[in-house]
Amino acid sequence: MTTGPATRQRQADRSRETRRKLMKATVECLVELGWAGTTTTVVAERAGVSRGAQLHHFRTRGELVAAAVEHLGAESVEHLRERAERVNGSVVAVVELIADFYASDLFTAALELWVAARTDPDLRTVVVPLEARLGRETHRLAVELLGADESRPGVREAVQITLDLVRGLALANQLTDDGRRRERIVRHWARMLEESL
Number of residues that bind a copy of itself (CB under 8 A): 44
Q: Does 188 bind a copy of itself (CB under 8 A)?
A: yes
How far is it, in rounded angstroms, from Cα 169 to Cα 181?
9
CB of 47 to a copy of itself, least distance (A): 19
Candidate list 27, 111, 134, 146; residue touching a copy of itself; CB under 8 A: 111
Q: Does 87 bind a copy of itself (CB under 8 A)?
A: no
CA–CA separation, 57 and 15 (whole Å)? 9
Task: Find the part of the chain contacting a copy of itself (CB under 8 A) among 7-15, 51-59, 72-80, 118-126.
Answer: 118-126
- Residue 1 as a binder of a copy of itself (CB under 8 A): the answer is no
State yes or no: residue 176 binds a copy of itself (CB under 8 A).
Answer: yes
Chain-centre distance for alpha carbon 122: 21
Least Å from the CB of residue 195 to a copy of itself:
9
> Which positions ≥6 away from 38 have C-beta within 8 Å?
26, 29, 30, 61, 65, 112
Residues 36-55 that bind a copy of itself (CB under 8 A): 36-37
Question: Quick one: 57 or 156, whose CB is closer to a copy of itself?
Answer: 156
**DSSP label at residue 88:** -
**Which string of b and e fits 50-60 if b means at least 16 CB within 10 Å?**
eeebbeebbee
Binding mask 155-174 for a copy of itself (x = CB under 8 A): --xx-xx-xxxxxxx-xx-x
> From CA 162, how far away is CA 182, in angstroms rounded?
13
Contact by Cβ (8 Å): 189, 99: no
Closest CA to 25 of 15, 12, 6, 40: 40
CB of 41 to a copy of itself, least distance (A): 17
Binding status of residue 128 toward a copy of itself by CB under 8 A: yes
Terminal-residue alpha carbon distance, the chain: 65
Query: Interface with a copy of itself by CB under 8 A: which residues?
Result: 32-34, 36-37, 108, 111-112, 114-120, 124, 127-128, 131, 135, 154, 157-158, 160-161, 163-169, 171-172, 174-176, 181, 184-185, 188-189, 192, 196
